Amino acid sequence: MSKFALFFLMVFFGGLCAAFFYSSTAAFVLYQLVYFLNPDDRWWSVEIPGLRYSLIAVAVMAITLIARYKELGPKTPLNNQPVCSGIVNLAT
């Protein structure tokens, strides 16, 4: 196995662990890495399993959001926007 393929797999699975145990933003960073690196079109892609890496990263992103929603929900900047607060005030 080439060093590039091994490095990609280590970073990918390390990113999955970081998303679950460190921070939910690691899942987004992992998705960006997979998107821009695009392992299916690289010369070393014959040495890695043909998984859908983007789908796995997005699924982990959704799972971490659902698991940590109570922690991440109040941090959203949308609640502080005047447009959203005006809509809420009109509805009440």
Q: Tell me the per-residue pLDDT of 38-70, one tens digit each, with 9 for 90 and over.
A: 888 888 888 888 888 899 999 999 999 888 877
pTM score, whole prediction: 0.72
Name the most confidently modeled range: 19-33, 36-50, 71-85: 19-33
**Which CA distances in Å does 55 have to 34, 35, 67, 78, 83?**
10, 11, 18, 27, 33
Q: What is the mean pLDDT of the chain?
A: 81
